[in-house]
Structure 1
Amino acid sequence: MGNITLYITTLSDDLLPEPASPKRSWWGEDLATAGHAHHCLPLTMANSLGYVVRSPGAFRVTWDGDVDTHVTVDDVDDCVVDNHSAGGSFTIQPGFVPRTTDEGDFLMVRPVPNVRCPWFVAMEALIEAWWQPGEFGLVCLMTRAGSFAVRRGDPLAQMCVYRAEGGSARLDIRPGLPAETEAWRARRHRPDYRKDLDYLMGRHPDGTPEPTHRRNWKHVRAEPTP
């Protein structure tokens, strides 16, 4: 199993990355997602992949919406953040250097998934963290013009281990459908259909349990090493 080791530089213990949450607060506020999304395993697994990287301090960012214009960063408190990377972006140092254990265990940095209308989105990155000891900075792209404040502890991105094999997987093309797709369609579109949780519970269309099924990620909270 791949591990992530954080070498803390300036980050406070109360802001260590935490296991990502499977749910989103807005799901209960939207009639289309209330009572449904928190049972949708593809969404909850994506939401809870890895660990949330939080802002080590507070600051304000202002941007006029022109991609060629650099943002203005001010009201900075207890963090290192600037606009050096690109127009319409800001870069923040989260206060640690991450390393992975095994060759081929990339550190994947990705936006926090399935959030609604953020002011910014973290750029995705794959870092060869099993050997690369460089400074770790998050580059965040603005998504709309205006001025907004980032508070201490606000989520900035998520990080997880990504195995090298995933990027070089072969793509095979076959006609038709997988063996059980027609049975799944028939079950899903039957006249007396009621919402079931077959995928969530790991059941095939005929009700057979799938022994390899996962319902969650096994997270271990980060603890400082003495």
Structure 2
Amino acid sequence: MELVAYVFPGWEPLLRPASSRRDWMDGSPEQFAYRCLPLKMANAHGWEMLSPCGFTATWNGGMRPQDVVITCDPGTPVDAMPVALFGQATLTFHIPAILRTPPGWNLWLSGSPNAAKDGISALGGVIETDWSPYSFTMNWRFTRAHHTVRFAADEPIAFMMPVPRDSIEQFTARIAPIDDEPGLRDAFLQWSASRDAFQQRMADAPPTAPADKWQKLYYRGLNPDGTPASADHRTKVRACPFRAGDSPLDPE
């Protein structure tokens, strides 16, 4: 399958495979935040679009477009500047590409997972990019008035992930007693007991090696008894870089 970014002459989208790294995770003691595999996998599960310029933006609390004031770094081309287009305390980035997914696939558009920004929050959208000839925008909404936010050049402003259009409607949902799933109660209780024992050992005799300070069963894709749980368990994912001809478009 292929995700294509169609561009007019002069359109230069800054696209890259999403990174699994986060500054706040790097800064956690012994980088322990990366022990949470679901966080790490979510971080890298798509592509990011980067800001073509550095700028600051401030919202004064009003709901008109002019209530957001944007100041771009010197030398920023006009067509690279974000705008206050819609009002409602929003900041808008034009996406300089028409994205195309395979038939039946939408594009999930949001901010990068697990990358909070003080004073402003990314809005999310789901777009039928398998047929749409229309461009779209990435929008952020201020959460605090009279607070200036800054985006640096090449900072991620959007996160894209293809999703099957009808997948959510193929699921039914229910709440069931744990004994409805054969073996689940015993497996959970075995894991819970081993977890308690592991934490007690850590308290009684803390290891010196960081890798020995966490149990790693889920990270390794193991059942509570140590047997492999899934043949296709993953601990990393890396989206393919966008390419122009034979050249990868990957700022990393």
Q: Does 1:58 align with 2:54?
A: yes
- 2:109 is aligned to 109
Cα 1:8–1:48 change in 2 (3 A) is: same
Unaligned runs of 5+ in 2: 203-212, 247-252
Cα 1:57–1:184 change in 2 (3 A) is: same
Whichever residue aligns with residue 158 of structure 1, its letter is: F
C-alpha deviation, 1:42, in angstroms: 0.5
C-alpha deviation, 1:122, in angstroms: 2.0
- Aligned residues of 2:44 and 2:239 also touching (Cα < 8 A): no
Whichever residue aligns with residue 58 of structure 2, its letter is: T
- Aligned residues of 2:221 and 2:233 also touching (Cα < 8 A): yes
What SS does the corresponding residue of 1:81 show, helix, strand or coil?
coil
TM-score normalised by L of structure 2: 0.78
Which whole-Å CA distance do the structure 2 matches of 1:116 and 1:221 have between them?
A: 24
- Aligned residues of 2:14 and 2:52 also touching (Cα < 8 A): no
Mark the structure with the bigger radius of gyration: 2
Number of residue pairs matched? 220
> What do you get for the CA RMSD once the two structures are aligned?
2.3
Q: Which segment is superposed worse, 203-212 or 170-179?
A: 170-179
- Aligned residues of 1:48 and 1:217 also touching (Cα < 8 A): yes
**Equivalences for residues 49-88 of structure 1 within 5 A:** 49-66=45-62, 70-75=67-72, 77-78=76-77, 79-88=80-89
**Equivalences for residues 207-226 of structure 1 within 5 A:** 207-209=226-228, 210-225=230-245
**Runs of at least 4 residues of structure 1 off by over 4 A?**
66-69
Which whole-Å CA distance do the structure 2 matches of 1:207 and 1:200 have between them?
A: 12
Which whole-Å CA distance do the structure 1 matches of 2:157 and 2:31 have between them?
A: 27
TM-score normalised by L of structure 1: 0.86
Unaligned runs of 5+ in 1: none
**Equivalences for residues 150-189 of structure 1 within 5 A:** 150-168=151-169, 169-176=171-178, 179=184, 180-189=187-196
* Structure 1 residues 64-114: Cα deviation after superposition (integer angstroms, max 9, x where no partner): 2345673122437221422122321111113111110122x1100011121
Percent identical pairs in the alignment equals 25
Q: Which has the larger share of helix?
A: 2
